[in-house]
Structure 1
């Protein structure tokens, strides 16, 4: 049985995961936090708890690893933030980069061809994988490796930035498998790739 690969991110209504200048202010900051909704933060945290392996590009890895490894020790950390930090540290991770030489917190570094390695990982009979980061996910998207897309859409237009979807050579047909509304008009949509 092939391992499932999911690409899921917070995204603006006009399709960007970051506004110009890598600005994430529209989503309440760097990733899930209490200024989105507690309910949405818990959803992301529960997702981390069941991810067998998270595949990171360098940029998002640097953002996440600069905050979450010690977030549970920060003054005023909420119980949900403490739980997320512990889950994030424990979750197996792989960073695809040829420009960094050290990773930590249950993480492996891979500097070769990401598509070849992701194809190999997908062939394993193991727990599901998440892929995060636009460049890395774009390579997997073009190679037809993504089984599921999860868009957590915020009701905001930013007019440009880093797009969720990359340019594709061929159409990808999807089936809608879940929708859910979170406080603040945030909409989760989950799509499975038709194979």
Structure 2
């Protein structure tokens, strides 16, 4: 069975984006970017909701061809293109960059993928991750908390029907007061 990983940059008050989908508060240091790259390199499959897919696919496919690219960004771009991706959406018609589109039941497809053989899967996008959270499918959470309060926006955690007990498996501090906390779901 595959493990399902959900991690994102988050504000101290729990938001992955401020109102208007503003993520300007979350620029990573080189060390933090490398941590995210390592996470992405570990994933066999990346699962995306539509909004995050559109943001990622508008930037990463050609980032390694830009003159100001860092070596880590170039590696991230190559890995992003090469890693199989699944996008869950009922509003777009096609995807590219080694990606498959699922228009049906996201929880059923994530359950099917998770039950298969292979390495970890990463899930990204608040709505998609929220559905997986409510279904009890997420095995690991990583919160990369920035020392900023935005007051409102898109929350990292969704409303749940029952408690989810977690075990702390890692804490780490990055430049700028950014703190990583990683948790595994206690099953």
2:168 equivalent in structure 1: 176
Other-structure match for 2:50: 58
Q: TM-score, normalised by structure 1?
A: 0.94
Aligned mates of 1:26, 1:102 — CA distance in 2: 31
Corresponding position: 1:18 with 2:17: yes
Aligned length: 187
Superposed displacement of residue 50, structure 1:
1.3
* Counterpart pick for 1:157 among 128, 143, 149: 149
CA distance in 1, matches of 2:89, 2:151: 29
Aligned partner (choices 93, 96, 108) of residue 85 of structure 2? 93
Deviation at 1:140, TM superposition (A): 0.4
Q: Deviations over 1:2-60 (max 9, x none)?
A: 210011000000000000000001012xxxxxxx2100101111111110101000000
Runs of 4+ in 1 over 6 A off after TM superposition: none
Tell me the distance in 2 between the aligned counterparts of 1:148 and 1:80: 24
In 2, distance between residues paired with 1:116 and 1:72?
Answer: 35
Q: CA deviation at 1:74?
A: 1.2
Matched, 1:129 2:91: no
Report how far residue 181 of structure 1 moved: 0.7
Shift of 1:190: 0.4
The Cα offsets for residues 97-141 of structure 1, whole Å up to 9 and x where unpaired, read as: 111111111111100100011111111011100100000000000
Offset at 1:92? 1.1
Question: What are the ranges of 5 or more consecutive residues in structure 1 without an aligned counterpart?
Answer: 29-35
Is structure 2 residue 7 aligned with structure 1 residue 8?
A: yes
Report the CA distance between 1:80 and its aligned residue: 1.5
Alignment root-mean-square deviation, CA: 0.7
Partner of 1:115: 107
In the alignment, the residues of structure 1 paired with residue 72 and residue 184 of structure 2 have an alpha-carbon distance, to the nearest angstrom, of: 29
